[in-house]
Amino acid sequence: MNWNFIIFSLVKLAVIVGVVQGLVAYSVLAERKISAWIQDRVGPNRTAPPFMKYVPVIGPFLTRLGMFQPLADGLKFLLKEDFTPAGVRKIYFWLAPALAVIPAMLTVAVIPFGSNLGDQKMVMADLNVGILYTFGIVSLGVYGIVLAGYAANSKYPFLGGIRSSAQMISYELSMGMSVIPVLMIVGNLNLSAIIGWQSTHGWLVLFSPLSFFIFLVASFAETNRLPFDLPEAETELVGGYHTEYSSMKFALFFLAEYSNMVSSAAMMVTLFFGGWTLPFWGLDQPATSLLLGVAHILVFMVKMLAFMVLFIWVRWMFPRFRYDQLMDLGWRRFLPLALFNILVTAIWMWLTAK
């Protein structure tokens, strides 16, 4: 047993979970602020702890930005009555929120969010089959939603659960197919190796833009975000799969959705946008100093946040797809397109190999 390894792993685990949770809390705030700007409103701008009014300049500024809103939201979720409706299937009703959150948190384990700090690699588990691991865990995420729909024993959540299972399977296929050209070009399933390849050859989005496009759209569907949020379409299904949930159990579904957004943003950065590397200022090699290591983590965070903003921006810009349109897009457009992309990549590689 290597105690050094255990201690550093635990520290990394705590930091990653903390950062993801913080990101989730503040992306809810970002969602509210950005939607407010898009709709010409102000958004949350007055929640603040009582002592904040005695802090000059910074206090009112942070309050105006809504920086304390997530704290208030979290507190409210914790203090609301946790109501279990009569007639729900109790075990599944309790299990479903946990099953939604666990896969969402597990996916970040393989993502290299920096090169190294000192001699510690900035990744929880540098798996040989990194991408496959992510797909496996993401495909388990559907159970939380399906079971939530089943457990509620009520029509709208049930429809939400059914929709979600069909949607997730359909888009997982396109998502998996869209990544294959990336694997063909790099020739490795390890995420660190994919970043390493990109630091010498250039970002993969330039080599396979079609892959990136399909992956992007499929990840919107996988995270149940608009324009594909059919499982929780408010106008048709009240609240979809989480209609019967209240208090912290309801919040856990939100947590899962936003954690999924964080991890798919991180996946897109890793697979297509060079991960923690930048092609200039010598940021494309593993860090030799502590400062450079921190810079790599910051680069990764900035790229990831850009994708988070994209997720939020799209939600407030596009109307929801109809269900048949969603299925049509998944099976008749994206799947053949992804297969065609594999073929084109294979031919291109065959031609350039000589």
Q: Is the peptide bond before 227 cis (omega within 30 degrees of 0)?
A: yes
- Residue 125 or 347: the one with the smaller Cβ distance to other proteins is 125
What DSSP state is assigned to residue 53? Answer: G
**Least CB distance from residue 139 to other proteins, whole Å?**
3
Complete DSSP assignment for 4-44? HHHHHHHHHHHHHHHHHHHHHHHHHHHHHHHHHHHTT---S
Helix (H, G, I), strand (E, B) or coil at 129: coil
- Residue 144 or 275: the one with the smaller Cβ distance to other proteins is 144
- Residue 137 or 287: the one with the smaller Cβ distance to other proteins is 137
- Report in angstroms the alpha-carbon separations of 252 from 74, 162, 185, 194: 11, 20, 38, 32
**Least CB distance from residue 11 to other proteins, whole Å?**
20
Place of tokens 């993969």: 204
**Least CB distance from residue 140 to other proteins, whole Å?**
6
Taking a C-beta distance cutoff of 8 angstroms, is the pair 175, 135 a contact?
yes
**Least CB distance from residue 158 to other proteins, whole Å?**
7
User: Rounded CA gap, 111 and 131, in Å?
Assistant: 9
- Residue 46 or 90: the one with the smaller Cβ distance to other proteins is 90
- Residue 137 or 216: the one with the smaller Cβ distance to other proteins is 137
Largest CA distance in the chain: 71
Q: Say if residue 243 is exposed, middle or buried (CB neighbours under 10 Å; 0-12, 13-18, 19+).
A: buried
**Least CB distance from residue 146 to other proteins, whole Å?**
6
Positions touching other proteins (CB under 8 A) are 92, 127-129, 132-133, 135-140, 142-143, 146-147, 149-150, 158, 161-162, 165-166, 168-169, 172, 176, 188-190
CA dihedral 118, 122, 124, 129 (to 10 degrees): -120
User: Rounded CA gap, 105 and 24, in Å?
Assistant: 11
**Least CB distance from residue 53 to other proteins, whole Å?**
51
CA dihedral 198, 202, 204, 210 (to 10 degrees): 180
- Residue 44 or 240: the one with the smaller Cβ distance to other proteins is 240
**Least CB distance from residue 142 to other proteins, whole Å?**
6
- Residue 241 or 300: the one with the smaller Cβ distance to other proteins is 241
**Least CB distance from residue 339 to other proteins, whole Å?**
14
- Residue 26 or 156: the one with the smaller Cβ distance to other proteins is 156
The encoded tokens of residue 44 equal 């949350």
